[in-house]
Chains A and B, each alone.
Chain A
Amino acid sequence: MYKKKENIIRWVFTVFAFSSLLFLVGIMVTLFAAGLPVFQEIGLFNFIFGKDWYPTYNPPDFGILPLILASFLVTIGAVLVCVPLGVGSALFINELATHKQRAILKPIIEILAGIPSIVYGFFGMVIVAPYLQRLLNIPVGQTAFTGSLMLGIMATPTVCSISEDALSFVPNSFREASLALGGNRWQTLTKVIIPSAGSGISTGVILGMSRAVGETMTVLMVTGGAAVIPTSFFKPVRPMTSTIAAEMGETVVGSTHYHSLFAIGLILFLITLLFNIIAEIISRRYRLKLGLGR
């Protein structure tokens, strides 16, 4: 009697657990099913390396190279902003701040990590873009640079939190040993602590990049949306995510345009999957290195 009930409950839980697997598989199946017709129609090579994205022209062009390059450009820009700021802040919080400062700074960073991306997009659109337009004397304020800046600021708290975690795992004995050998605090920081937390920090950087590539609303609102091969940081571009968000509303279900947006989603999915797997491998190695187990 007891035994039977226990077994039923166990099965119920098993089914629930497997549903999460189902969703991941479901997402992949959906993206493949809705995206693959494009590869058949246009060809994988022409789709990915095509230089023109004119989905509504007659005849239309479905080449997403400008979108891919725009995504990479904006992501690289964002990394240049969020890595120094995020890692620097994490080092400050972990190594220099007093207990009291740390008790204030850590929650602040954590709370800021929760600001929705639409707020960054909105702020970038109404304040930053017009300001940059005047400051740099460029025709349009919504550029790859503006996007990079906003995305970078947005990803900074994430990078900071993960790096801070990695730094806090470095055993205190490492610090003490370095100081005992006569190294000062800066030498200890650069030669002992950063190298031992290095792979943990790079996990944070990769996850920050993954977030930047996949971020939609911010880039949709501040990068300007010109689907051309980017030639400069200070011109409008159109990353993959904002293309999906901006054009999905106007497409006819089942048209090549509709399928091509799903194919962009598929490529985006695979890119972020790759980032996550790399981050996973690095963080596993790192934990083993410091003897923390799995």
Chain B
Amino acid sequence: MDKKIKQNLGFLLLLICILTTIFFLGIILYFIVARGIRILSWEFLTQVPRKAMTAGGIAPVIVGTFYLTSGAMIFSIPLGLACAVYLSEYSPKSFIVNIIRISINNLAGVPSVVFGLFGLAVFVKYLGFGVSILSGSLTLGIMVLPSIISAAQEALMAVPQSYREASLALGATLWETIRKVVLPSALPGILTGVILSIGRVAGETAPIMFTAATFYTRRYPNSVFSEVMALPYHIYALMTEGVHPEEQTSIAYGCALILLILVLTMSVLAIILRQRQRSQSYYGT
């Protein structure tokens, strides 16, 4: 009897844990959605800010986030993919390769603000790119590189060895095998990783604070050397600068909602993609 009560109490405790977790996260989503939706309108999405950020829309902010995210991806996808291909297809199991693996793992754990410092010292100051889309994109790209590498590596590892052997046995070279057999089979897995990374890059603030973002410009960026407004930084700036806290807070709710929609859509896309892969079990196992 005593055992039974203990078990029920224990299970109840676990239930409370998961309910509390869902409750906390649910309440955050609820507030952002309920308050953000009030300000959301077609104008909010397509107009430039007016009256010192207290009215108008956030179109340049959305465009800025789009540029920064695309820039980071243009940089990190080819580099990350190439690195993953080397590690899983070419690399001899050696000491050096182990060091590369370890450094990728550790790069993944570096705090985002430290990437910001790196970007400031190297891209903004040393290479002279200034506070710009270019500096911000490169900083974000380096930050997200480890996650792209490990996602791609995992997808490549999941391709059955027999595929490679069959292709090589037919007389294809190693590069032909990689290009025509291994990469196409690993593509859905790689794509999942890339989509998740897009969501992460779009929401990061600390790396772009000193490398790309500015609180207020009325213009759209016109080159890779322009500074930009970006959704996450804009939320921070609206809450800490300016002189009209009330209006700014409601705009910040709108920005937070747009950012959430953007980021969560990416996560949902990635999860759906992965589930489809699993149910199709495209390796015919």
Q: Does B182 contact A (CB under 8 A)?
A: no
Contact A27 B175 (CB under 8 A): no
Residues from chain A with Cβ under 8 Å of B268 in the complex: 111
Contact B86 A17 (CB under 8 A): yes
Within 8 A of A (CB), among B154-175: 173-175
Interface residue stretch chosen among B41-49, B50-58, B111-119, B221-229: B111-119
Known: A215-B111, A245-B113. A96 touches B199 (CB 8 A): no
- For the residues of B in contact with A, the DSSP-based class is helix
Q: Does A253 contact B (CB under 8 A)?
A: yes
Q: Does A110 contact B (CB under 8 A)?
A: yes
Known: A13-B85, A85-B20, A93-B18. A31 touches B11 (CB 8 A): no
Q: Does A60 contact B (CB under 8 A)?
A: no
Q: Does A73 contact B (CB under 8 A)?
A: no
Q: Which residue of chain A lies nearest to B143 when distances are taken between CB atoms in the complex?
A: A23
Closest approach, in angstroms, between the C-beta of B25 and any C-beta of chain A? 5
Q: Does B252 contact A (CB under 8 A)?
A: yes
Q: Does B83 contact A (CB under 8 A)?
A: yes
Q: Which residue of chain A lies nearest to B239 when distances are taken between CB atoms in the complex?
A: A125
Q: Which residue of chain A lies nearest to B196 when distances are taken between CB atoms in the complex?
A: A114
Contact A23 B82 (CB under 8 A): no
Contact A123 B82 (CB under 8 A): no
Q: Does B70 contact A (CB under 8 A)?
A: no
Residues from chain B with Cβ under 8 Å of A169 in the complex: none
Contact A16 B86 (CB under 8 A): yes
Q: Does A265 contact B (CB under 8 A)?
A: yes
Contact flags A130-163 to B (C-beta < 8 A → 1, else 0): 0000000000000000000000010011001000
Q: Does A76 contact B (CB under 8 A)?
A: no
Contact B232 A217 (CB under 8 A): yes
* C-alpha gap A23/B106 in the complex (Å): 11
Contact A275 B232 (CB under 8 A): no
Known: A119-B28, A248-B209. A186 touches B10 (CB 8 A): yes
Residues from chain B with Cβ under 8 Å of A157 in the complex: 21, 25
Residue count of chain B within 8 Å CB distance of chain A = 86
* Total residue contacts A-B, CB cutoff 8 A: 250
Q: Does B235 contact A (CB under 8 A)?
A: yes
Contact B236 A20 (CB under 8 A): no
Closest approach, in angstroms, between the C-beta of A26 and any C-beta of chain B? 7
Q: Does A62 contact B (CB under 8 A)?
A: no
Known: A26-B118, A156-B21. A276 touches B109 (CB 8 A): yes
Closest approach, in angstroms, between the C-beta of B175 and any C-beta of chain A? 5
- For the residues of A in contact with B, the DSSP-based class is helix
Which residue of the partner chain, among B3, B14, B18, B89, contacts A105 with CB atoms under 8 Å? B18
Q: Does A36 contact B (CB under 8 A)?
A: no
Residues from chain B with Cβ under 8 Å of A80 in the complex: none
Residues from chain B with Cβ under 8 Å of A87 in the complex: 17
* C-alpha gap A244/B210 in the complex (Å): 10
Q: Does B66 contact A (CB under 8 A)?
A: no
Closest approach, in angstroms, between the C-beta of B5 and any C-beta of chain A? 10
Contact B267 A114 (CB under 8 A): yes
Residues from chain B with Cβ under 8 Å of A16 in the complex: 79, 82-83, 86
Q: Does B140 contact A (CB under 8 A)?
A: no
Contact A248 B85 (CB under 8 A): no
Contact flags B171-188 to A (C-beta < 8 A → 1, else 0): 001110000000000000
Closest approach, in angstroms, between the C-beta of B95 and any C-beta of chain A? 13
Contact B239 A122 (CB under 8 A): yes
* C-alpha gap A112/B203 in the complex (Å): 13
Contact A186 B7 (CB under 8 A): yes
Contact B17 A85 (CB under 8 A): yes
Q: Which residue of chain A lies nearest to B25 when distances are taken between CB atoms in the complex?
A: A112
Contact B203 A116 (CB under 8 A): yes
Q: Does B264 contact A (CB under 8 A)?
A: yes
Contact flags B260-273 to A (C-beta < 8 A → 1, else 0): 10011011100100
Q: Does B37 contact A (CB under 8 A)?
A: no
Contact A118 B205 (CB under 8 A): yes
Residues from chain A with Cβ under 8 Å of B89 in the complex: 13
Contact A241 B111 (CB under 8 A): yes
Contact A265 B114 (CB under 8 A): yes
Contact A23 B11 (CB under 8 A): no
Q: Does B151 contact A (CB under 8 A)?
A: no
* C-alpha gap A160/B235 in the complex (Å): 28
Which residue of the partner chain, among B3, B13, B107, B113, contacts A216 with CB atoms under 8 Å? B113
Residues from chain B with Cβ under 8 Å of A111 in the complex: 264, 267-268, 271
In the complex, 20 of the A-B residue pairs with CB atoms within 8 angstroms, ordered by the A residue number, are A6-B175, A17-B100, A20-B145, A24-B104, A27-B107, A114-B196, A114-B263, A118-B203, A119-B203, A119-B259, A185-B7, A190-B10, A216-B112, A245-B206, A248-B116, A249-B209, A261-B117, A265-B117, A268-B114, A269-B114
